[in-house]
Amino acid sequence: MYDEHYTRLNQYRSLWILVFFDLPTETRKERKIASIFRKKLLDDGFSMFQFSIYMRFCASRENAEVHTKRIKNNLPEHGKIGVMQITDKQFGMMELFYGKKLVETDKPSQQLELF
């Protein structure tokens, strides 16, 4: 019997990691540091949600912890960075607007996990 509660990727087990940051960009060196931080997020599979908000889908809490640890290892010396994990179910309840027009949220594609 198929029970959605026990499927490998269900909306309560899978997570989204959201990274919020406000980094200084006054000098050329600060802009370079901010750019390197963004590039490391992209290299780790994050996508830009808004200019200083990046997100990544994770199939499990363990997978989310791996990516959160990578973020912590790459924190710049200055600036403010926040990391938040929410379930796929919570992410799916988000309402997105472009101007006054409500738009559908993108569903994550099925990801393969290689061991």
User: Can you say which residues are annotated as belonging to the binding site for Mg(2+)?
Assistant: 22
What residues form the annotated binding site?
A: 22
DSSP summary character for residue 6: G
Backbone angles phi, psi at 53, to 5 degrees: -130, 120
Name residues whose C-beta falls within 8 Å of residue 112's C-beta, 6 or more positions apart in sequence.
Answer: none
